[in-house]
Amino acid sequence: MPSLKEVRGRIISVNSTQQITKAMKMVSAAKLRRAQDNIIRFRPYAQKLNAILANLSATMEQSTDNPYAVVRDVKNVLIVVVTSDRGLAGPFNSNIAKAVYALISSDYKALPKENVHLLCIGKKGYEYFSKRGHNVIGDYSTLFHNLSFNTARPAAEFAMNGFLKTDYDRVEIVYNEFKNAATQLIIKERLLPIEKKKETQEKSANTDYIFEPSEEEILSELIPKSLKTQFYKTLLESNASEHGARMTAMDKATENAKDLLKELRLTYNRSRQASITKEILEIVGGAEALAG
């Protein structure tokens, strides 16, 4: 049985840890509220913009050039990996790493390792894949320090320009989609080339649009804006998911510390009772020896 001093030290240590995790839970809850409001307000705009783009793309003439929809043989791929800057968020970052490895092994296992490029948004993903010898390009690991559309634009333009210059034949993005504080879904989707959905083509087949100015000019402005909007939306989703995951992880850590404190206090009381009983027996034994 451990000594009273040892148990008392552990109780103090666990109690301090519980206070820290409780404070971190409250901070994450406050940040989650703001991040959740941002993504809820932004989703309708992004969805409507994508719907307009899909309808226009479905009615485009076959001769119209769309450089963002060019399908090429995949020899080089860029995977945008969205993680967090800090840990203590449960399996938030490890699930992203597993999803990236699953994507590479399933879709790009035939490509050499140096042809699979990783663009890491978030410090944890940057450190994780850099240490394991992956082809990590660009440094946007601190983008979440001041997340906004303007700060996210350079990363989106980097991926878009790389596709236009044929540096990459495909651009994928892996991130956590926010559902609620306790649920985040791993999403793997293709950013480039743009895919035309059959349902949208059929729906817009009999729709006659009047373009002013020309459809080429409209799409040349709308497509880049839509791609940047979609990119920024994934960062907002991941940001809200991170705070939700951290709040949940800190809540569980606080509950575990509470259970551990109960066990330690019980152990402390048992040790104290055993010590008192031992002292009483020694006194009684000494008294009987003197009496004899």
pLDDT per residue of the chain (292 residues) written in tens, 0 to 9: 567 788 888 889 988 999 999 999 999 999 899 998 989 899 898 888 877 777 766 665 544 567 888 888 889 999 999 999 888 888 999 999 999 999 999 988 888 888 999 999 989 999 999 998 888 987 787 788 888 899 999 999 999 999 999 899 999 999 999 988 888 899 999 988 887 665 544 554 455 666 677 667 777 778 888 899 999 999 999 999 999 999 999 999 999 999 999 988 888 888 888 778 878 877 877 777 777 6
* Tokens coding 260: 């551990």
* Integer Cα distance of 92 and 242 in angstroms: 7
Whether the model pTM is above 0.85: no
